[in-house]
Structure 1
């Protein structure tokens, strides 16, 4: 399978996954010739600065890891060129653009995948299953937290960036487990334009959720996150450490009236699992779990938070 990987920043996380496979051929596209060649060389891939070739040549999949304003336009361009698309989250910067992608994909025989990598984190899948199956009763309280140091040089994690760049995945977890909130309260701290923290509380009928996202941590802290999900008959508590390589470590513990139990998590990292899923879908082996229509609820909530913070 031939893949055009657009972007030399976060695209490196995808490139590392592709490099471990023997069933793909990848060309990395970027604007800066030297940087593009250097990044591609690290993974043994070809490189190009001729972006139009990603849409004209015989690539099967266009993997878009470009800045947010380019997500929807490049996805639409790839669809028009007859390519399958994997696009980094969030799908778009506006609901109008997101719906345009959904409508175009529905009229097209090409598949679109949004990198909702958090859906492939084993602890999160356990939470989704517990809510769907009623394993511990009804979900009453959900607390999510993601605290990180500035692990990605040059990347801003200030108030302008945090909602769409860092909170979107948590909003997907909230909307998938509790739906759209009835009330939202937000508190923020901004150290400077590149380092900030957001605390958001969401009210539902008979439940509430809280999400803490911070980029104020010192470098030795790394990146850590997790959740505590309180049900009527038990608690699921997850903690994880994660980094740019996309290979987290984590634990998941269930607390019930019968006692405490450590739940075994499969040895999978989210980026590898996500790309495995994309390629399996393109081979006709699985149904698409991360199509654009599935992300609209989370995007709507994320954009609402962004408007409340940034106007």
Structure 2
């Protein structure tokens, strides 16, 4: 099986999205990839257990991608070995009236993972510079000062929003949150195949919405917005990773491997030492229990 290197997928310089791969040859069978993932997710769960005892870091995993790129199944398969209390998953849909009554980052702030836990954002705060950029009329629902029409949503508006997102992530990183941002890069051809499968298989019909086809017509616009967002916000403290997503098992394995390798570099993440008095009396405590 091909050795996965984190830096092969990390965005460290300006990219053109059309040049990013949507497929990856892991040089392994599907069973081999799934077997490797099974081992990795167990190792990741052990890291989370240690992080919980260490109580100094949280992990935020951000998943973005076009419809059908495999976000839901990736969450299921990568995190299934975790203690259910060790991972929190949030899927951000259309903002509610309550959420629209606050600034656009509010609902993401209140969903952040506490120290010792993983938080997964299935769709993220980047929806606010992706979907809203493709459909700027959505911004009007935020009822912002100085934005009275779509004409007010200009380049300066988006510049400010990207600055706010960068500041948000910098603040999190400086306060102990380890951030991973994964762009599940799906080809247009593979999306067509997956949408057709939803229509052809009765048990998958519920996943299909006519709106999927309307959004598909805006494919190129979305790609331009993703490219700009990645280029503006891939930072050392909050890097983007391009994850070739045409093959779901391989994409899941790559995500898990990147997280495992990156977290393994944190040599300070370890279980705390026992109090010296407790350590000195361990045999006594065991003897007390055994005498019961």
TM-score, normalising length from structure 2? Answer: 0.31
Q: Which has the higher strand share?
A: 1
Q: Which has the higher helix share?
A: 2
Structure with higher Rg: it is 2
